[in-house]
């Protein structure tokens, strides 16, 4: 059974067709990347899989459970990091992690373990006892990533985990994800418009543009298929934009 | 701990740590109201308490002295004697001594009384500055008080001169003993005091209910809109917590905070009104208006349902707003017009209104707490039960709608541009 199975998924926001029937599968333990430009439909796909939006066509399953009909069950399996997200400003970082851990943990011991892991993943040390309202963008993002991972979900859904951050913060976040995936064997679905980030993190990627999936494969397969140096070139050739062909 | 309590606790923690909210909910009622009351009280005490008069006696006969003596012995009057050669000098001296009123007994005072002519005294209100503060504005009242005391004393002197033994019986031949008749009982309390107590009760409660409804509605709306504004809503909705639990915990958290706020307002208000002397130390039970435990329970139920209704209505409205500020605007513009008509009941009972107006008022859920309050005293349990049934239906409908919206993607996508772009 695949971790994620998406079949002909469609989503209309009124007149805007954000998804025009996309399909892909993710294997258990894989880090799967959805890459594409702004407005391609990445966030929409991730929100449907996170039970936030209802698809207008097609279907999606996570570990065999339908995301619409079994939404409450899905929420127990996944952990979602939104593209634009904040934490409760009047709580301290530690209180935020404690609050979240209590909602996921079955008992006190589990909660303590989760919090310990969250503290470590956040890398915020003693700043965890300051209010979230005093955090920088990078610190908030680290806190949110820590809370998403500390519960050790079956599937982690991360929407542009490092976008909008400076290189140091972005690097730390990518490293945290990669190490966590290696140590815990959690399945990941993440989106990005940063092709290099995806190359660094993902086992397999899907290229998405204007609500359609153009191609799927490992970064190496794709580079060979399009005879390209990196995923950026792959993408440009896949969408048929003649990047740099002046001869 | 259940998910529900974990979330309700977080909700309260978040609200308690909000400095603006804390100021409006706790500091204002508990500190500002009583402080305002104290200020007013200081002013009123100055205005009402003792009557201070300065007297300059130019009379050479006996009656001038008698008048001074009787004034000195009169209750609530403090007399300062001024020795001066002329009226101007006396005024200067009185002004120096911070007196507000100077009474001048003229040279021919005793003579006029002896000859049974109307005797004249001159009264001067003394202004030391041109600012019209509280103190200056009451000078008139003081002068009148002094005149009343003077006339009575002069009348007394004249009557005594006629050889009457009990001047009081002649001065006040009729005395009224006022009592009140309320709910088939005679109460030995004057009607003005009774109506004062009733009025203060019928004003305080609507204001408290009004404040509580608007404050908790704003808090509930804020609790939803803040999730959008701070971008915590999407995460919240993907947590392994039932959507109904999320709604219930938000309502409970804000309702509990609302309760604390209402208590604070009640305490603050009581001390404010108390310092104004509205609270006459006479309670409703002194007036024979007994509240039965059943009545109290029913009344509490009415209040509870009203708050549930306004909280869930506020939450529905807030779902359409993108930030706290616009949520507050939206909620105010819906809840205030709904809550306002209830104030009519501050002046009249429901039963005294024309039928159409009565039913129009009763259709408005926010009039029910005040109607129920009146029902509670008249022992009209049917009325209260009807209110409860009506409010229960409304509260259930709005709660259901809130829960429904929360269980769909509308909670994320619903949006109305309130005059600005998001
Ligand atoms: N709530 C919404 N209402 C209307 N249109 C939307 C909404 N959210 C996204 N869209 C549109 O759907 C398309 C896909 O958006 P999105 O999934 O956010 O893309 P991406 O995450 O790849 O940048 C875009 O054209 C966007 O404008
Ligand atoms: Mg996006």
Tell me: the pLDDT tens digits for B211-240? Answer: 778 888 988 998 899 999 999 999 999 999
Query: B204 and B159, same structural domain?
Result: no
Q: So what's the pLDDT on residue B132?
A: 53
Q: Tell me the ligand closest to A38's alpha carbon.
A: 1
CA-nearest of B204, B250, B180, B212 to B405 is B250
Mean pLDDT for all residues in chain B: 81
Q: Is the pLDDT of residue B416 over 80?
A: no
Lowest average pLDDT, out of B103-112, B138-147, B313-322, B338-347, goes to: B138-147
Same structural domain for residues B140 and B273? no
B14 contact A CB<8A: yes
Shared domain check, B386 and B253? yes
Q: What is the pLDDT of residue B41?
A: 60
Check whether residue B245 and residue B350 sit in a common domain: yes
Q: For B80-111, what is the HEC assignment?
A: EEECCCCHHHHHHHHHHCCCCEEEEECCCHHH
CB-CB contact of B222 with B328 (8 Å)? yes
Q: Could you tell me the CA-to-CA distances from B358 to A85, A107, B149, B202, B353 in Å, in that order?
A: 50, 55, 50, 18, 6
Query: Do B152 and B207 reside in the same domain of the chain?
Result: no
ipTM of the modeled complex = 0.94
In a domain, B37, yes or no: no
B303 and B211 fall within a common domain: yes
Q: Reply yes or no on whether the pLDDT at A241 is more than 70.
A: no
**Would residue B181 count as lying in a domain?**
no
The pLDDT value recorded for residue B180 is 82
Segment B100-110 mean pLDDT: 85
pLDDT of residue B284: 65
**Is B206 part of a structural domain of the chain?**
yes
Q: How is residue B70 written in tokens?
A: 């009787």
The per-residue pLDDT for B414 is 81
Are the C-beta atoms of residues B409 and A71 closer than 8 Å to each other?
A: no
Domain shared by B284 and B152, yes or no: no
Please report how the helices A137-150 and A108-122 are oriented relative to each other, as an axis angle in degrees rounded to 10.
140
Task: Give domain status of residue B384, yes or no.
Answer: yes
Q: Are residues B197 and B329 in the same domain?
A: yes
CATH of the domain at B150: 3.40.1710.10
Q: How far apart are CA B406 and CA B224, in angstroms?
A: 11
- Assess whether B53 and B90 both reside in one domain: yes
Distance CA(B90)–CA(B67), nearest Å, equals 18
Across B384-395, average pLDDT: 95
Q: What is the pLDDT of residue B274?
A: 64
Does B316 map to a domain? yes
Number of domains chain B contains: 2
Contact A84 B240 (CB under 8 A): no
Q: Assess whether B215 and B154 both reside in one domain.
A: no
What is the β-pairing status of strands A31-35 and A187-192?
Answer: parallel
pLDDT at A213 over 60: yes
Q: In this predicted model, which residue has the larger pLDDT, B32 or A109?
A: A109
Q: Is the CB of A38 under 6 A from ligand 1?
A: yes
Question: Does the global pTM surpass 0.80?
Answer: no
The span from the CA of A154 to the CA of B177, in Å, is 85
Range of lowest pLDDT (A109-118, A170-179, A214-223, B138-147): B138-147
Whether residue B25 is contained in a domain is answered as no
* Residue B28: pLDDT over 80: no
| Predicted pLDDT of residue A45 | 98
pLDDT in tens, B158-169: 787 777 778 778
Residue from the list A53, A78, A90 with its beta carbon closest to the beta carbon of B409: A53
Residue B368 pLDDT greater than 70, yes or no: yes
Query: B135 with B245, same domain?
Result: no
Looking at the structure, tell me whether residues B154 and B217 fall in a common domain. no
B272 is a domain residue: yes
Residues of A in contact with B236 (CB under 8 A): none
Of B1, B18, B231, the CB nearest to A82: B231
Q: Is A99 in the pocket of ligand 1 (CB under 6 A)?
A: no
- Grouping H, G, I as helix, E, B as strand and the rest as coil, residue B413 is helix
- How far away, in angstroms, is A42 Cα from ligand 2 center? 6
pLDDT higher than threshold 60 for residue B46: no
Task: List the end-to-end C-alpha distance of chain A, in Å, as a whole number.
Answer: 48
Nearest CA distance, A49 vs chain B (angstrom): 10
Which carries the bigger pLDDT value, residue B143 or residue A71?
A71
Q: Which two tokens stand for residue A176?
A: 């945290």
Range of the domain at B121: 49-166
Average pLDDT of the segment spanning A16-34? 96
pLDDT category at B137 given cuts 50, 70, 90 is very low
SS (H, E, C) A9-58: EEEEECCEEEEEEEEEEECCCCEEEEECCCCCCHHHHHHHHCCCCCCCEE
Q: What is the pLDDT of residue B419?
A: 45
**Is residue B13 situated within a structural domain?**
no
B231 inside 8 A of chain A by CB: yes
What residues of A are in contact with residue B230 (Cβ under 8 Å)? 86-89
Expressed in angstroms and rounded, the spacing between residue B124 Cα and the centre of ligand 1 is 82
Task: Out of B124, B150, B166, pick the residue that ends a domain.
Answer: B166
Q: Is the pLDDT of residue A212 over 50?
A: yes
B271's enclosing H/E stretch is: helix B243-275
């Amino acid at each position: 059974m695949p971790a994620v199975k998406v079949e002909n998924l469609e989503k209309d926001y009124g007149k805007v067709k954000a998804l025009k029937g996309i399909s892909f599968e993710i294997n258990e333990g894989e880090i799967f990347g959805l890459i594409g430009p702004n407005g391609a439909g990445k966030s929409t796909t991730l929100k449907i899989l996170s039970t936030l939006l209802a698809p207008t066509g097609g279907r999606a399953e996570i570990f065999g459970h339908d995301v619409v009909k079994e939404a409450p069950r899905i929420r127990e399996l996944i952990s979602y990091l939104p593209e634009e997200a904040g934490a409760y400003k009047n709580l301290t970082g530690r209180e935020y992690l404690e609050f979240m851990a209590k909602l996921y943990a079955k008992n006190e011991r589990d909660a303590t373990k989760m919090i310990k892991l969250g503290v470590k993943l956040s890398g915020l040390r003693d700043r965890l006892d300051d209010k979230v309202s005093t955090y920088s963008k990078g610190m908030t993002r680290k806190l949110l990533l820590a809370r998403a991972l500390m519960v050790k979900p079956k599937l982690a859904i991360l929407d542009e985990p490092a976008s909008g951050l400076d290189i140091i913060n972005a690097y730390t976040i990518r490293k945290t994800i990669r190490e966590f995936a290696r140590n815990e064997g959690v399945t990941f679905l993440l989106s990005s418009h940063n092709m290099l980030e995806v190359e660094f993190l993902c086992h397999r990627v899907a290229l998405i543009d204007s609500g359609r999936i153009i191609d799927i494969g490992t970064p190496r397969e794709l580079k060979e298929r399009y005879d390209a140096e990196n995923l950026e070139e792959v993408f440009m050739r896949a969408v048929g934009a003649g990047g740099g062909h002046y001869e | 701990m259940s998910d529900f309590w974990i979330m309700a606790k977080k909700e309260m923690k978040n609200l308690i740590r909000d400095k603006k909210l804390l100021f409006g909910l706790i500091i204002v009622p508990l500190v500002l109201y009583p402080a305002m009351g104290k200020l007013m009280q200081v002013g009123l005490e100055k205005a009402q308490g003792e009557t201070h008069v300065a007297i300059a006696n130019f009379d050479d006969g006996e009656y001038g002295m008698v008048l001074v003596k009787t004034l000195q012995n009169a209750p609530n009057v403090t007399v300062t004697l001024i020795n001066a050669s002329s009226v101007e000098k006396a005024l200067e001296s009185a002004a120096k001594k911070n007196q507000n009123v100077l009474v001048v007994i003229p040279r021919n005072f005793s003579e006029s009384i002896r000859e049974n002519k109307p005797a004249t005294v001159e009264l001067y209100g003394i202004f030391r500055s041109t600012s019209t503060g509280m103190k200056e504005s009451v000078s008139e009242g003081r002068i009148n008080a002094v005149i009343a005391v003077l006339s009575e004393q002069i009348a007394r002197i004249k009557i005594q001169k006629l050889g009457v033994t009990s001047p009081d019986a002649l001065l006040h031949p009729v005395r009224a003993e006022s009592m009140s008749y309320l709910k088939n009982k005679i109460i030995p309390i004057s009607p003005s005091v009774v109506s004062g107590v009733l009025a203060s009760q019928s004003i305080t409660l609507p204001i408290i209910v009004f404040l509580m409804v608007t404050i908790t509605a704003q808090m509930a709306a804020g609790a939803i809109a803040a999730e959008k504004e701070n971008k915590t809503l999407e995460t919240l909705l993907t947590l392994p917590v039932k959507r109904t639990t999320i709604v219930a915990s938000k309502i409970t958290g804000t309702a509990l905070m609302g309760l604390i706020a209402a208590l604070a307002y009640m305490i603050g208000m009581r001390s404010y009104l108390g310092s104004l002397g509205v609270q006459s130390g006479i309670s409703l039970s002194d007036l024979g208006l007994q509240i039965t435990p059943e009545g109290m329970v029913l009344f509490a139920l009415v209040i509870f349902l009203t708050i549930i209704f306004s909280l869930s209505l506020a939450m529905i409205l807030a779902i359409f707003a993108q930030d706290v500020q616009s949520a507050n605007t939206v909620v105010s513009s819906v809840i205030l017009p709904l809550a306002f008509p209830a104030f009519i009941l501050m002046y009249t009972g429901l039963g005294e209104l024309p039928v159409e107006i009565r039913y129009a008022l009763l259709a408005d859920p926010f009039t029910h707490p005040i109607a129920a309050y009146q029902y509670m005293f008249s022992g009209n349990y049917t009325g209260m039960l009807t209110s409860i049934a009506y409010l229960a239906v409304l509260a259930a409908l709005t709660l259901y709608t809130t829960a429904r919206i929360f269980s769909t993607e509308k909670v994320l996508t619903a949006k109305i541009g309130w005059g600005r772009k998001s």
